[in-house]
Amino acid sequence: MNPNKDQTDPRVIRTRILIKEAFIELLTEMDIEKMSVSRIAERATISRVTFYLHYRDIPDMLEKMADEMIKEIEEALRGKPVNPDSREGADWLRLEKLLEHIAQHASFYKVTLASRKAPIFTERLLSMLTEIITERYDHVEKDSFTYKAGIQKDIAVWHRSSALIGTIVSWLRQDMPYTPHFLAKQFYLLTSRKQDTNF
Amino acid sequence: MNPNKDQTDPRVIRTRILIKEAFIELLTEMDIEKMSVSRIAERATISRVTFYLHYRDIPDMLEKMADEMIKEIEEALRGKPVNPDSREGADWLRLEKLLEHIAQHASFYKVTLASRKAPIFTERLLSMLTEIITERYDHVEKDSFTYKAGIQKDIAVWHRSSALIGTIVSWLRQDMPYTPHFLAKQFYLLTSRKQDTNF
DNA sequence: AGACTTATTTTACAGTGTGTAAGATAATGA
DNA sequence: TCATTATCTTACACACTGTAAAATAAGTCT
């Protein structure tokens, strides 16, 4: 396949959308173990052979879909780039943006992130969040609580990034009972120590 | 099979150990997608038919192994039962006990928890930890920071339990660079607000 | 519009794994 | 020693995989 036409040929676009939709549908209906190229092709109303023209196998498909997901999340967060000098308020807005994006595509994220059927999606998002949190840690937390309390940077990063992704997953699993704005604010309260001075 | 003899017949015990060891070995070598009953039986030096005498299929095997894991963790934590009146110090000891148990069986937990190849194990442990944290929250945190700051109980529980399991997973993934004692203490510092008064 | 390029389809094939059945063998326990 | 039963051997029908070749259909370009 011509790598340039890949992204523009309407037949290719159509097929990939059909595969993605079929995959999401099937994943809501069954466990990942029962997923097969045959089933996906059948549901997508394409030939099984066509699947192999796009993906080597199912793991390859998952990987490429995860790549796409990360790209879309980065796209959604654009406009509020990672700013080393930003204060917590700015990051809180970025989290709200992330949650809004997830809420807008809830049917996709509920299956890929919240179902835990295909760990690769959660893994990718965790990596991304870990990067952001690691960067942020050096720049804006030099004088924060954790810094002073003698907490190892890597442990603090593990703690924060997993708390973040875990909270998002739980929120999705329970069908988003809070608005992105409210949850982002609560998360900010839980993570930052700013509020300590109020009590 | 006689359900009573199931647990005592040395042939049964031997076979299940062989299957478990073969499974762990194979999972370190390949992705879960490539796992098959044939491979497990071959590695375990048992007949493929024998596998089906113990487990319906691979998902069934994973489920039963996860049950076993939870039992063993509960066993390891016994002696320090969930005490509603316990102060943070006691819980900190329980976390240290958990980490010690995991460290002692690192080869098993590195594959089941840290590899993220079989999400069921992480899911089960998360459920267990969520239960413990939920119970604890009502009893010992009535006057804690989160309570006063107007943070929803469920959000706080999501945050804490996912931070806990995520930290454990990251610690395992990086081959446990800290002692259980040290990590438990750091986790305690990160979660509790007691230290705030020191600064 | 017509000629091209190429994505998709159809059909076919060899290979691997699944889950179950029957009877033979070997280990266990009383 | 003898009855029990876990394991093994062999066999079978079925499903899914990954690839190939040639035909068809859809898109692109002048």
B188 touches chain A (CB under 8 A): no
pLDDT at B195 over 50: no
Classify residue A118 by its DSSP letter: S
User: Which residue has tokens 């097969």?
Assistant: A36
Kindly provide the residue ranges of all beta strands, DSSP E only, lying in B42-141, ordered along the sequence. none
Confidence of residue A3 (pLDDT cuts 50, 70, 90): very low
pLDDT at A76 over 90: yes
CATH fold for the domain made of A66-191 = Tetracycline Repressor; domain 2 (1.10.357)
Which of A133-147, B103-117, B164-178 has the least mean pLDDT? A133-147
CATH number belonging to domain A5-55: 1.10.10
Confidence of residue A1 (pLDDT cuts 50, 70, 90): very low
Identify the pLDDT of residue A82. Answer: 45
Per-residue pLDDT tens over the stretch B6-56:
678 999 999 999 999 999 999 999 999 999 999 999 999 999 999 999 999
A184-191 average pLDDT score = 92
Burial of B26 (0-12, 13-18, 19+ CB in 10 A): buried
Per-residue pLDDT tens over the stretch B141-156:
655 666 667 899 999 9
A59 touches chain B (CB under 8 A): yes
The nucleotide whose C1' lies nearest the CA of A35 is: D16
Question: Are A31 and B196 within 8 A, CB to CB?
Answer: no
Contacts of A53 (CB under 8 A, 6+ apart): A1
Domain parsing of chain B, residue ranges: 5-55, 66-191
Backbone angle region of B175, left / alpha / beta, with phi > 0 → left and psi within -120 to 50 → alpha: left
Neighbours of B74 (CB within 10 A): 11
* One-letter identity of residue B136: R
Nearest chain A Cα distance for residue B149, angstroms: 8
Beta-carbon pairs below 8 A across chains A and B: 109
Question: Are B190 and A116 within 8 A, CB to CB?
Answer: no
B66-76 average pLDDT score = 97
pLDDT at B185 over 90: yes
Nearest chain A Cα distance for residue B7, angstroms: 29
Identify the pLDDT of residue B76. Answer: 95
